[in-house]
Amino acid sequence: MTFVQLIECRTSRLDEMNRLIDDWVEQTRGRRTATHAVVGTDRSDASHIVEVVEFGSYEDAMRNSNLPETDRIFQGMVALCDEMPTFTDLDVVRDEALSVDTVRRFFEALATPGDLPPLNDLLDEDVHSHDPVNPQDTIGLDSVRSEYRMWRGAFDFAFTVEDVLAQGDQACARWTWNATHKADFLGVPATGRQVTMTGMTLFRFGAHGKITETWWQHDQLGLMQQLGALDELEQ
């Protein structure tokens, strides 16, 4: 079970505390067990500092606490604080990366039977799409929807999202695309063939939680080969 430690203190010497933390990170490189750390200041009281440190488990946190450097950083922190820091130990019972859910809903929407959904609940009005199929970036929700309609017009398809990794305002998905070629695609008439393509898409999110930019990487050469578009070139 993921374990989180909440550390609160009051200090007017935040720069010195940041240097102290940097020193600890360097001294414990390869041995510390924390997986994520965030330091914030209270907007209504800049002297109120809150650090959130995440561990894979309580046992990992205890191993981290037992490092000799951890005790030294604690003593240094006490010296920089106006009062004794407080610690709150939390067992995480719910952990949701909202961007991951948005990414999965996006791929589901692209493959929805019938009319393409509006997508305005997922994509920013000024979304930018970078796709190697297109010589220029596609900009704007209407233009991006037209691009998706091109794929939907040429194929009946579904995505299998293999993995989604999220960090900060970005997320990356690894996917498999299975499709039936039913109409012209880049000059290749309908073949009725079952085709498969693998790829990855990097997403950037805005402050409103919507997708503002996408970068697509996929095996277009392999797709064209499956469609028979390269047969003459190979002879």
**CATH number of the domain that residue 36 is part of:** 3.30.70.100
Residue 110 domain boundaries: 98-234
> Model pTM greater than 0.75?
no
Number of domains present in the structure of the chain: 2
Looking at the structure, do residues 145 and 79 belong to the same domain, yes or no? no
Looking at the structure, do residues 49 and 114 belong to the same domain, yes or no? no
Residue after which a domain boundary falls, among 91, 110, 144: 91
Looking at the structure, do residues 86 and 128 belong to the same domain, yes or no? no
Looking at the structure, do residues 174 and 192 belong to the same domain, yes or no? yes
Looking at the structure, do residues 109 and 84 belong to the same domain, yes or no? no
- The CATH number of whichever domain residue 201 belongs to comes to 3.10.450.50
Looking at the structure, do residues 102 and 87 belong to the same domain, yes or no? no
Q: What is the 3-state secondary structure (H, E, C) of the chain?
A: CCEEEEEEEECCCHHHHHHHHHHHHHHCCCCCCEEEEEEEEECCEEEEEEEEEEECCHHHHHHHHCCHHHHHHHHHHHHHCCCCCEEEEEECCCCCCHHHHHHHHHHHHHCCCCCCCCCCCCEEEEEEEECCCCCCCEECHHHHHHHHHHHHHHEEEEEEEEEEEEECCEEEEEEEEEEEECCCECCECCCCCEEEEEEEEEEEECCCCCEEEEEEEECHHHHHHHCCCCHHHHC
Looking at the structure, do residues 106 and 45 belong to the same domain, yes or no? no
> pLDDT tens digits for the chain (235 residues)?
789 999 999 999 989 988 988 888 888 888 888 888 899 999 999 999 999 999 999 999 999 889 888 888 889 989 999 999 999 999 988 777 789 999 999 999 999 999 999 999 999 999 999 998 888 999 999 999 999 999 999 999 999 999 999 988 999 999 999 999 999 998 999 999 999 999 999 999 998 999 999 999 999 899 999 999 876 555 4
